[in-house]
């Protein structure tokens, strides 16, 4: 069976890592082109060495290539602002689909093990953020058992794994992730925090997830969480629980105050995650980048395999 041709916009860390994943790991995809805006970027240099077509004039350069007619899926690994222009340019081409790895959130949020089936026919899907891909499956796992009033995530990543694109989109990161916690994770209220850790040697990505929900069966919630971890591990092997799931009952006579919700009580669930990257292009501590590229690749693979099975 022939493979589906894809292109990547953005020749930085994320775009380059994704290119290598497509080349090494994909069963259904083949690289058509990698484009960026920096003619001296390492990503474009690597692509040329691997025989991949390149351009340093972004989406406009991609559309000008002969291979454009053969491309079915475009990955956007640029920035939130750039994605607005990229989608406006691509949208008239009805045969093209785009997977957005920026926090632009023009299309609906997609987290593969949570809501893939809801967006089979959507042409532009958004992969939320690295923190969102790591933590929203956990909020969703709790939501499968009980109604979640509040979900809060803290994503701690190495400063060295935060490139200029990540740093330029900090506000978009927190806003987009919080919204996706509510929309995809099904928490009534969401909050997201990102920490850039300057420690040397660099630390592997860590994520902490707190939920406050109705009272429920703690064993059922824990099993739901562990099952979801196994689902994420299918495309991110370095994803794991760093500690056992912890529970705390917040009694009605001693509630906690949550902005936007007021006084709340119920079951507090604390989930501690560790995300180690595969080391395809970047060091293994850059799990924040690895989970984004892995989730995007998993989405495209599932799109194609679902289409082939139809």
Q: Which residues are catalytic?
A: 130
| Residue (of 271, 30, 70) closest to 151 by Cα position | 271
For residues 36 and 56, the answer to whether their CB atoms sit within 8 Å is yes
Q: Which helix (H) or strand (E) holds 286?
A: none
CA gap 62, 53 in Å, rounded: 9
CA gap 38, 159 in Å, rounded: 22
CA gap 257, 265 in Å, rounded: 9
Degrees to nearest 5, angle at CA 7 with 5 and 9: 170
Residues forming a β-bridge with 279: none
Cis bond upstream, residue 201 (ω within 30) = yes
* 250-285 b/e (C-beta count within 10 Å ≥ 16 → b): eeeeeeeebeeeeebbbbbbebbbbbbbbebbbbbb
CA gap 300, 254 in Å, rounded: 47
Residues forming a β-bridge with 76: 9, 100
| Residue (of 181, 149, 269) closest to 220 by Cα position | 269
Tokens standing for 88?
Answer: 């406006």
Note the residue count of the chain.
310
């Amino acid at each position: 069976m022939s493979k589906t041709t894809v292109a990547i916009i953005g020749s930085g860390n994320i775009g380059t890592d994704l290119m290598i994943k497509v080349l090494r790991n994909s069963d259904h995809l083949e690289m058509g082109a990698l484009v960026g805006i920096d003619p001296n970027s390492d990503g474009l240099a690597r692509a040329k060495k691997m025989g991949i077509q390149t351009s340093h004039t972004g989406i406009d350069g991609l559309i000008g290539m002969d291979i454009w007619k053969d491309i079915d899926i475009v990955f956007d690994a640029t920035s939130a602002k750039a994605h607005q222009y990229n989608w406006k340019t691509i949208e008239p081409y009805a045969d093209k689909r785009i997977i957005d790895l920026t926090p632009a959130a023009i299309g609906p949020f997609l987290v593969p093990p949570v809501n893939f089936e809801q967006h089979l026919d959507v042409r532009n899907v958004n992969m939320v953020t690295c923190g969102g891909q790591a933590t929203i499956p956990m909020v969703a796992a709790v939501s499968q058992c009980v109604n979640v009033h509040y979900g809060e995530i803290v994503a701690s990543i190495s400063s060295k794994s935060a490139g200029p694109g990540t740093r330029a989109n900090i506000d978009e990161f927190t806003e987009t992730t919080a919204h996706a916690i509510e929309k995809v994770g099904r928490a009534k209220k969401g909050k997201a925090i990102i920490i850039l850790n300057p420690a040397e040697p660099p630390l592997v990505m860590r994520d902490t997830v707190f939920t406050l929900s109705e009272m429920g069966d703690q064993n059922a919630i824990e099993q739901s969480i562990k099952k979801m971890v196994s689902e994420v591990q299918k495309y991110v092997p370095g994803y794991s629980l760093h500690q056992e799931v912890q529970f705390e009952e917040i009694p009605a006579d001693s509630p906690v105050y949550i902005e936007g919700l007021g006084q709340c009580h119920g079951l507090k669930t604390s989930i501690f995650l560790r995300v180690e990257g595969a080391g395809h292009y970047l060091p293994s501590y850059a799990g924040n980048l690895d989970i984004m590229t892995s989730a995007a690749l998993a989405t495209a693979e599932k799109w194609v395999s679902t289409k082939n099975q139809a």
